[in-house]
Structure 1
Amino acid sequence: MSDLRDLLEKHTGPGAAPGAVALVARGDRVEVVAVGDADVAGATPMVRDSIFRIASMTKPIVAAAAMMLVDDGRMALDDPVGTWLPEWAAPKVLRTPASPVEDVVPAARAVTVEDLLTFRAGIGFPDDFSLPGVAPLFDELKQGPPQPQSVPAPDEWMAALSRVPLLHQPGEAWLYNTCSDILGVLIARVSGRSLPEFLAERLFEPLGMTDTGFAVPADKADRFTGCYRADPEDGGLRLLDAPDGQWSRPPAFPSGAGGLVSTADDWCAFARMLLADGSVEGSAGRGAGGRRLLSVDSVRRMTTDHLTQAQRDGGRLFLGGQGWGYGGSVDVAAVDSWNAPGRYGWVGGTGTAGHLTPSTGAVTVLLTQLAMTGPVAGPFTQEFWRYAADA
């Protein structure tokens, strides 16, 4: 473990992330290292089961939940989502992506379940944030960094969604983030359960993900880390959320795009479920009694790139040239030393990353409390990926 510990200690401490937890698993070998502290005060040492805001690492989990409903026959990939989301039965589309928000035309076709899973529903963040149609994503839909206590309940949020025009026609372009929040509402309406209830019953409890949810109960607050952003003015860290802050109570809107908290071992259990149900690792990571949680076909669809080259190029700010499956990126080429073709997963804006590689059965998880400064993973994360690739 010394090499991984050295790597984590190199990137934590004064002026950097206060601490970190990293996990690298392949087969029966699982390497986990925790270094530093849970906050800048240094009063709480980081431990293996420290709890983090995993932000966009939520997206693959919510995509898997949606595929459970597909496996159940409750909905199909080509079903129009307006069946369950009447607020979005007839969305309007900007005449061009650069048009004013009042200049709209009808959608050429219905938005489908698969459009949401592949982020091609026509709504979300483009590479150009200056487009007029981007502002309503922040103002009306409260997109951006997770802020669970600032977003209205799902029905009110969906009413706001009905007023926001699509940037592109359904199926045309890949746009980041918003589709996962819509998917969370869809899961709740199709299942008749709230998103937290559905995830707990169908994923977290069967997989033993005891520390994953949309809030941290009081009896676990001592393991909940602070969340920080680098302050460019003084070079220090600015507190974004404390353990008794926005995740200390359940939110009105459980965000499928970035609302979960979790631990390294919990997210690894989720990843190993995908590997097992994709026929890579036998029964490891399945539910109680080795029960399959997802069909092989659903896992294959989740971990397969569905984008055209033009769609990958159009989302380069976030994708960096990689592809997108359902709820997570798919490495389509070894463009860097840490890429492995077929690797699936995603990063979180709060300084987290989780991936699995179906071809090798590897799982990698890095959890820090230092928020990303942009959509591209920083040196710490990239060095961790290189270590994991060689491990």
Structure 2
Amino acid sequence: MTTSPTTTSTNGFCGPGLERLHRVLAGHVEAGRVPGLVTLVDRHGETHVDAIGTAELGGTVPVRADTIFRISSMTKPITAAAVLMLVEECLLRLDEPVDRLLPELADRRVLRSPDAPLDDTVPAERPITVRDALDFRLGLGMILTAEAFGHPFFAAAQELGVSGFGPPRPDLPHTPDEWLARVATLPLLDHPGRRWSYNIGSYVQSILVERASGRPFAEFLRERIFEPLGMRDTGFTVPAADLDRFTAAYGVGEDGALAPYDPREGGAWSREPAFPEGAGGLVSTAGDYLAFARMLRDGGTYGGQRLLSRRAVALMTSNRLTPQQCQESFGGVDGWGFGVGVGLRGDDLWRTPGRYGWDGGMGTSWYTDPAEGLVGILLTQRLEFPTANPVWLDFWTSVYAALEA
């Protein structure tokens, strides 16, 4: 199924390129790499949505343009936008220590090295700031290398039984306060500001939003972002009435075959989570996420309403890391803004300087390329973090090959 709900011009994409995009992605579904997927490309007022396959392996319910997916780490940009709203309202300040609102993270101690025993620590050189949480340099998180997962720190993190050090776990019982109290028992991996580490910064941002605004995080997102953008299908759970539009999620077994991870009904997203976390907890649709992406692409406005200032969007979507940090964390080809990856080098068809967005470990992806006026969204449910699967790679290659002048 292909729809073009907002087509007002015909110069965004070439017809043969869009046909190839469909053919290539349909081939992945037919090969069993994913049971179904939705793609969306938007450029120069021309939007194309393609829904292929079924909502679960061996099922008969077709994927539709409005099928609901677990977007995992595509949650992070939305959380960062929420923090920046509070910065603009002077309820948070970028370079303010988080200690005022998060006293659990005051007076930190730091491992002498990331692989050190947990009791081999020194005092932190300075407090963690709001900026550190936004750009993932707070000194606490996941280091995305194979050897790092064998360090004592990550063994201790797993023993805490909290989410944040692996795929999203909305079924865990810890409230935001309980989560923070447990994580605060860990030392930092590095001094604040020194090194990029993944994921935990978005959890911390969620709690900052909650405590600074005095409102539950999920409520803040709904009232300040989802309702103004018309994102009716985005949230931390799937209502029973909408389960017919929900998908099953799969991992990948040692033999390369799909293995069940979370079912459509009765799974982890079928009830309200104890901690609606801003790192990977949201579900959404391609159309909903397009509204958020357009708001950023248009400098913080949507439908005549301003959600963020142009300056906040520019700050969020530009690289905040040093060259050394980019090299250590992204091989020098990408950087990191606030909740988004930022392209630094153009060494592939789809990798372009200035492109920003992020991927979800459950097989989702969104990027905006300001130079091309392009938004692309891929939604599948194939958990293969942190490895990029061929569906992802072929989607982005085909999107850029389909661009018209």
Does the TM-score normalized on the shorter chain lie above 0.5? yes
Report the alpha carbon displacement of residue 219 of structure 1 after superposing the two structures with TM. Answer: 0.7
**Residue in 1 that maps onto 2:305:** 291
Q: Which amino acid aligns with 2:305?
A: R
Among candidates 105, 112, 115, match of residue 98 of structure 1: 115
**Residue in 1 that maps onto 2:227:** 205
Report the alpha carbon displacement of residue 14 of structure 1 after superposing the two structures with TM. Answer: 4.8
The answer to whether 1:11 aligns with 2:34 is no
Which deviates more, 7-16 or 327-336?
A: 7-16
- What TM-score do the two structures reach when normalised by structure 2? 0.91
Tell me how far apart the structure 2 counterparts of residues 295 and 87 of structure 1 sit (CA, whole Å).
31
Summarize deviations over 1:265-300 as a string: whole Å, max 9, x none.
11111010001125xxxx6xx15xx11100111100
Among candidates 34, 37, 60, match of residue 54 of structure 2: 37
Among candidates 260, 279, 294, match of residue 239 of structure 1: 260
Tell me how far apart the structure 2 counterparts of residues 277 and 22 of structure 1 sit (CA, whole Å).
24
Tell me how far apart the structure 2 counterparts of residues 99 and 379 of structure 1 sit (CA, whole Å).
36
Report the alpha carbon displacement of residue 362 of structure 1 after superposing the two structures with TM. Answer: 1.0
**Residue in 1 that maps onto 2:196:** 174
Which deviates more, 111-120 or 84-93?
A: 84-93
Summarize deviations over 1:12-46 as a string: whole Å, max 9, x none.
13531001000000121001100000001322000
**Residue in 1 that maps onto 2:206:** 184
8 Å Cα contact 1:347/1:377 also seen in 2: no
**Residue in 1 that maps onto 2:386:** 375
The alignment of Structure 1 onto Structure 2 pairs a total of residues equal to: 379
Tell me how far apart the structure 1 counterparts of residues 371 and 231 of structure 2 sit (CA, whole Å).
24
Q: Which amino acid aligns with 1:158?
A: L
Report the alpha carbon displacement of residue 375 of structure 1 after superposing the two structures with TM. Answer: 1.6
**Residue in 1 that maps onto 2:149:** 129
Summarize deviations over 1:90-118 as a string: whole Å, max 9, x none.
22111222210111222111100110111
Report the alpha carbon displacement of residue 312 of structure 1 after superposing the two structures with TM. Answer: 1.5
The answer to whether 1:87 aligns with 2:107 is no
Residue 385 of structure 1 aligns to a residue whose secondary structure is helix
Report the alpha carbon displacement of residue 315 of structure 1 after superposing the two structures with TM. Answer: 1.5
8 Å Cα contact 2:238/2:283 also seen in 1: yes
Shift in alpha-carbon separation, 1:182–1:136, aligned structure 2, 3 A: farther
Q: Percent identity?
A: 47
Tell me how far apart the structure 1 counterparts of residues 350 and 323 of structure 2 sit (CA, whole Å).
21
Tell me how far apart the structure 2 counterparts of residues 246 and 254 of structure 1 sit (CA, whole Å).
12
Query: Over the residues paired in the alignment, what is the CA RMSD in angstroms?
Result: 1.4
Among candidates 318, 322, 329, match of residue 315 of structure 1: 329
8 Å Cα contact 1:23/1:32 also seen in 2: yes
Tell me how far apart the structure 2 counterparts of residues 292 and 358 of structure 1 sit (CA, whole Å).
19
Among candidates 166, 169, 172, match of residue 144 of structure 1: 166
Summarize deviations over 1:327-380 as a string: whole Å, max 9, x none.
0100001122211111111111101101112223211000011112x4232221
- What TM-score do the two structures reach when normalised by structure 1? 0.94
Tell me how far apart the structure 2 counterparts of residues 49 and 139 of structure 1 sit (CA, whole Å).
38
Q: Which amino acid aligns with 1:376?
A: T
Q: Which amino acid aligns with 2:140?
A: I
**Residue in 2 that maps onto 1:388:** 399
**Residue in 1 that maps onto 2:246:** 224
Report the alpha carbon displacement of residue 230 of structure 1 after superposing the two structures with TM. Answer: 2.1
**Residue in 1 that maps onto 2:348:** 336
The answer to whether 1:120 aligns with 2:137 is yes
Tell me how far apart the structure 1 counterparts of residues 21 and 289 of structure 2 sit (CA, whole Å).
19
Residue 199 of structure 1 aligns to a residue whose secondary structure is helix
Residue 377 of structure 2 aligns to a residue whose secondary structure is strand
Report the alpha carbon displacement of residue 2 of structure 1 after superposing the two structures with TM. Answer: 2.4
8 Å Cα contact 1:356/1:364 also seen in 2: yes
**Residue in 2 that maps onto 1:327:** 339
